[in-house]
Structure 1
């Protein structure tokens, strides 16, 4: 049976460190389902969602710590693995911009007790219409019993011109 965990890796950027982490994972029979790496100056932070056979997970964790002593590495069980009754939906939100819109969207999702995996908000001034347009991409964890349509309806209720599409 596969185990899924999240490894958070922090440290100084050194040539090939990400590649070496990936190689260690593959050698242990694991794979990265998702990875996000952020670099600032000469430091990096990486979030790695790792899937590996259950009996190999402790060995891989120990190998990470042995091979990379200069890095800070934290391990946590994947929430998705703990909450298998959830599904992921991706939403696009578009409307005219106004103060408080980002907060109102987040409040609707939080009040529904939905897990917000990713939120990206952008505001763009469109000179041809003389207004600023708000656009957002969201990734939300939804319980199986909550319909996409109900989430769309509640979000569209925030503003008369707000449009939501499920992608």
Structure 2
């Protein structure tokens, strides 16, 4: 029988530390089902969904918790099949403005849309003609409730402002 759990951590770690944790997981018969690992300056933050045999799960968990350079939290989860047929990937481009992330997440939350992943970036653009602009770009993975259609959500997101463009990524 297998057990599934989610590990979240933040702290100082180099890629070799992450590799060591994957090796320990593999050596104990486990595997990383999903991993989101981000570095920001000299810090790392991660979310990792691990599946492992029930008898070796304590060893894998202890390996994560033993990292003194990381603040680690482990949450057990129920084994459940992932519903992939309602998952969509969107790209949103707009002029940057205060509250844009709040507006997007509020719209999605009000429709009971589950945000699986969201990566936002702000880019400053300038040219020789004196044009200066702050652009907002978001890549969002969402899972829709069965009664919603992605084209309706795209149109609602576009209505947030007249300059908002929303593309459905494949």
Shorter-chain TM-score: which interval?
A: 0.7 to 0.9
1:147 aligns with 2:128: no
CA–CA separation in structure 2 for the residues paired with 1:120 and 1:141: 18
- Provide the residue aligned with 2:37 in structure 1: 36
- Provide the residue aligned with 2:124 in structure 1: 124
- Provide the residue aligned with 2:5 in structure 1: 5
CA–CA separation in structure 2 for the residues paired with 1:99 and 1:9: 29
CA root-mean-square deviation: 3.4
- Provide the residue aligned with 2:94 in structure 1: 95
Q: Deviations over 1:121-165 (max 9, x none)?
A: 324335368352332222223224322112101101212232211
Contact 1:35 1:49 in 2 (8 A): no
5+ residue gaps, structure 1, are: none
5+ residue gaps, structure 2, are: none
Q: Deviations over 1:51-107 (max 9, x none)?
A: 224554344324545xx363543211359x568457432211123344443332222
CA–CA separation in structure 1 for the residues paired with 2:93 and 2:67: 46
Contact 1:85 1:143 in 2 (8 A): no
Instruction: Identify, as 1 or 2, the structure richer in helix.
Output: 1
Aligned residues: 163
CA–CA separation in structure 2 for the residues paired with 1:124 and 1:15: 30
1:137 aligns with 2:139: yes
CA–CA separation in structure 2 for the residues paired with 1:129 and 1:145: 47
